[in-house]
Copies of this chain bind each other. A is one copy, B any other.
Amino acid sequence: MIIFLGLFLFIHAKPQTASSLNLLPVPQKIELGTGYLKLDQNFSIAIHEPVHDTILIKGVDRMMQALNRRSALYFIHKHITSNNNSDTSNLQITIDRPANPAIGADESYVLSINENKIILHAPTTLGALHGMQTIMQLLSKTDDGQIYFPTVKIQDAPRFSWRGLAIDVARHFIPLDVIKRNIEAMATVKMNVLHLHLSDNEGFRIESKTYPQLQDKGSNGRYFTQAQIKDLIAFAKERGIIVVPEFDMPGHTKSWFAGYPELGSSPNTNESTVSLFKNMKKMDLVSIIKLAQTAPIPAMNPAKESTYEFIDRFMGEMAALFPSEYIHIGADENNGVVWKNNPDIVAFMKAHKIPDTHELQAYFVHRVQKIVEKHNKKMIAWEEAFSKDISKNVTLQVWQNGTYLKKAVDNGNNVLLSKGFYLDVFYPAYIYYNNSDLPKTLNDNLPLKLKGGEAAQWTELADETNIETRIWPRAAAIAERLWSPSSVDNVEDLYRRLFAVSKQLDEQGLQHIGDYERSVRSLSNDGDYDAVKALTDVLTPLKGYKKLFAQLGNSSESLVYPPDPLVQVSDIVFVDSKTKWKFREAVKAYLENKDPGSKEIILHYLNQWKNNDVSLKKAFDRSSQLKAVEQHSKDLSTIAAIGLNAVKNIENGVAPNQNEINQNLEILKQADKAYGETELCIIPEVESLIKQQLMPLPASYPIF
């Protein structure tokens, strides 16, 4: 059944070292052996559990099918039930007690693989699910096609108990199947909280049976039914993931007022804010911030008792629907202008001695908190909900102002960190990975109070056609930051594993690569595809919110009309270019040790890029989207020629004069501009090649 393999059987195989494993996130402790457990079609699994644990059994069966699919071994033992408990099975899975996903539950596991057997033990179901993800990532193939696991001992547990992904399904509705694919991906990298931003100005995205006008008038017909939500929660639960709903209030509530205008603070809250945002196109950032502070942005009326009665009944309905311990009430970005403009609210403030709208917001938050707790839930809110009198029961989510982290912890509140984890600002993965707002060492109250964090994908510029490309694989870097010890911080190794996990997610059915390539096909004609893709492979979206501000007003779905389609090159390309990283690795290896294989890779890319522009002439003429990035294509060609020349000089030991180098560096600098809201991402690597011409090899390649 098991074939005992000495190293001699693996002479063609490249034995793995710990640093070549593709585990993401990296486990707490890992000890890699030198042996192997080879898989064949007799592979079998046994489950040992105290009571019938459906989540565990389904999870093991899912892993068995996934192993069967990835290995193509066609196992004889096809299907897992709780009756599979033979001690002779290769993989022995034991848990002490079943557990549903919950914050703070024991998620640890111990995994041991020797040449005969795999032993996975976990105190709870949740640890076993994580351990199985580790097993899947350990699955390896030799160059001669043998399927094996390396021998290894792993002790693992998360650094933080809250490892979340927040998805905004309001600005663009994201359908059920897309959310499910994201859940599968989250489970792969051991994330445990899906935070759904279910309502915002642009849409109310969940069915309420108590207040059906919320979805009927507050959405364009695109929302989750309660049956779908139940299905989603069950799907997530089976994968160890909690679904936390967010109902943003008192601001971000325009969609509520479409059906229930009495909730609003202004008689004309139904008035479109679109015209307001439209002008943003022509504004600079300072003006936009000022506008956000001074514009009459819709908000609930905190002065009417009926508002709280509504919230009470609504929260009661949602508390029954979502088993999550937590409900998120938003409470962000409410500037209070509509409150100041409403005489009734002003009178209410005077009567209740509420000095300003910030205190009025604190009053509102306090009232809502009581409602949430009445329905046996804990409340989460964004940092703006913080006030000196805030209840210590409230969990605060820091997103913009890092000082709230300390303030809230000092006040005794639990905290979640999303500052530095916003995926919608188009930063590459290593920026999130190095998030400076997350303390490296946890001292004082932090270990108790900082519960973890959340990646966040807002959807002004993401919809069902590109959101997977937006979130993945970058969110995996955040998953690792929240799971692994803080000492795990090698960026190069992160990227190696990030692209490995990206391939794994692709095989599992995630559409991040599929959506990108479909979009490239859509921009291409039959013969163009390779050349278009060679260009888009090295373009990344303009970083920060510049792209968002350029498009505001048309970028989200709304009650009034559908959004503009997201069909520009900037909408479809990855934030982290895999080609850039392959090129970067090659440049690094070449400059460090003149590695000939790396030189071949460098020359392959540079020659491709140099000659790519000429093949795109017709494509640029035909497509306005491609036309917008044409200058990048020309620059890529020029830069590649400079790079080729630099490699020639390095090879020949010929140093060009400083003048020529300066000229070339100036050309690179000129190319480092945005066109069509995208940037050319391989400039630093060519810069290294240029600078190297003046220095002897081996060089120490500057990483960032």
Contacts and interface: CB of A to CB of B under 8 A. Distances in A.
Interface of A: 61, 65, 68-69, 72, 74, 78-79, 141-145, 175-177, 225, 227, 465, 503, 506-507, 509, 511, 513-514, 517-518, 521-522, 526, 554, 560-562, 564-565, 567-568, 582, 618, 621-625, 627
25 contacts: A61-B562, A65-B565, A68-B565, A69-B565, A72-B624, A74-B564, A74-B565, A78-B561, A78-B562, A79-B560, A143-B621, A144-B621, A144-B622, A145-B623, A145-B627, A177-B177, A225-B227, A465-B509, A503-B521, A506-B522, A507-B518, A511-B514, A514-B514, A514-B518, A517-B517
A518 B522 contact: no
Contacts of A560: 79
Nearest to A601: B527
A562 B225 CA distance: 30
Nearest to A68: B565
Contacts of A65: 562, 565
Contacts of A176: 177
A625 B506 CA distance: 18
Tell me the number of copies of this protein. 2
Q: Which of A175, A176, A561, A568 has the most CB of B within 10 A?
A: A561
Given A72-B568, A144-B622, A506-B522, 11 more contacts: A61-B562, A74-B564, A78-B561, A143-B621, A465-B509, A506-B521, A507-B522, A509-B518, A514-B514, A514-B517, A526-B582
Please give me the 9 A-B residue pairs with the lowest Cβ-Cβ distance, nearest first: A79-B561, A69-B565, A177-B177, A78-B561, A514-B514, A227-B227, A507-B522, A145-B622, A72-B567
Contact of A145 (B175, B465, B513, B624): B624
Nearest to A618: B143
A554 B79 CA distance: 12
A141 B227 CA distance: 43
Contact of A562 (B79, B141, B144, B522): B79
A567 B69 contact: yes
Contacts of A175: 177
A568 B72 CA distance: 8
A563 to B, nearest CB: 9
Contacts of A227: 225, 227
Nearest to A177: B177
A506 B526 CA distance: 13
Contacts of A568: 72
A16 to B, nearest CB: 15
A622 B148 CA distance: 12
A532 to B, nearest CB: 14
